[in-house]
Amino acid sequence: MFRQFWLVTVTTLLVLTGPGVPVAAAGFPDHPVRIIVPFPAGGSNDVVARFLAMKLSEAWGQQVIIDNRAGAGGNIGAEMVAQSTPDGYTLLLTAPPPLAVNQSLYPQLPFDPIADFAPVALVASVQIVLAVNPEVKATDVRGLIALAKAAPGTLNFGSSGYGSTNHLAGELFKKLAGIDIVHVPYRGAAPAMNDLVSGHIPILFDNMPAVRPQALAGAIRPIAVAGAARSPLLPDVPTMAEAGVAGFEASSWFGLVAPAKTPPELMKTLTETVMKVLRDPDLAKKLADVGAEPGSLSGSEFGAYLHAEADKWGKLIKDAGVVMQ
């Protein structure tokens, strides 16, 4: 029995400290850390990542670099992190698609959303907003539904990309409102917002951090938020349920993960540091100013949340009949 215990112990140590799996160093980090953002610069994911990077740089005394690696609904950036050395120096800060949505959309992924990542923390959550160009002859959701029903298939709605939570919010809107509007996917939130402002698309579902500045400037008209309650940042904008679409609730979030097999002590360092900076009042204010709320889940709790999110979005994709294009 003792021999079996010894063999198991030695085998475990070899797995944890074998070739390609670094042991957590007491002086971590001793050189710059890279956070991969799997979406283009200028969107909500990028904004939140840069806020977090600034605070982590202060906490660690090392530069934290944001590296935007967009493409394939976030899969390109996520794959890079999944295949990187698990030494804490390459992390992924992502919105839901790569970890909780794409497994229900793509027939095959180049990584396992669960097995290939170690959850660090839920960094922030945000409201999704339904907005229209000011030239649209609808000042509320009921008016927009009426326009869509009067001319099925002629109104377009934009999103930050196929399979994004904003796209799925639009699909949920179509289903619950019984309307036919056409999805136009963009390569990120910034170009989608540019086309809404310029009038190239009439409707957009996007996250609060991207919507609020344009709404305050009068460049777009927000007509509903998708969460369970109104946002204090746009207090006059009703929820979708208040606006007449019963059962509508959707939100987005941004989470930080490391490659799987990152040593436990290093994961502990990462998690403790991130949770500490998330309690920083200055960071909380920066997030609040753009419509985001600091997260409070870390480690296994965040892992359980990822499982629940995958189930939720998977059900929506199936119920709404969303198929990969």
Q: Please write the tens of the pLDDT for every residue from 151-174.
A: 999 999 999 988 899 999 999 999
Instruction: Give the per-residue pLDDT at 325.
Output: 63
Asked if 29-126+252-320 and 127-225 have one fold, the answer is yes
Under 8 Å between Cβ of 28 and 273: no
Contact 223, 140 (CB under 8 A): yes
Instruction: State the pairing for strand pair 203-207/156-159.
Output: parallel
User: 93: part of which helix (H) or strand (E)?
Assistant: strand 90-94
CA geometry: angle 299, 300, 306, nearest 5 deg: 95
* Listed residue (83, 76, 98) closest to 254, CA to CA: 98
CB 88 within 8 A of CB 58: no
Regions of the chain with pLDDT less than 70: 1-25, 325
**Torsion-angle region of residue 27: left (phi > 0), alpha (psi -120 to 50) or beta?**
alpha
CA 103, CA 125: separation in Å to the nearest integer? 21
pLDDT (0 to 100) of residue 322: 84
Q: Are 39 and 70 in contact (CB under 8 A)?
A: yes
CATH superfamily of 29-126+252-320: Bordetella uptake gene, domain 1 (3.40.190.150)
CATH placement of domain 127-225: 3.40.190.10
Cα–Cα distance between 143 and 238 in angstroms, integer?
14
Listed by start position, the domains of the chain span 29-126+252-320, 127-225
pLDDT tens digits, one per residue of 280-303: 999 999 999 888 999 999 999 999
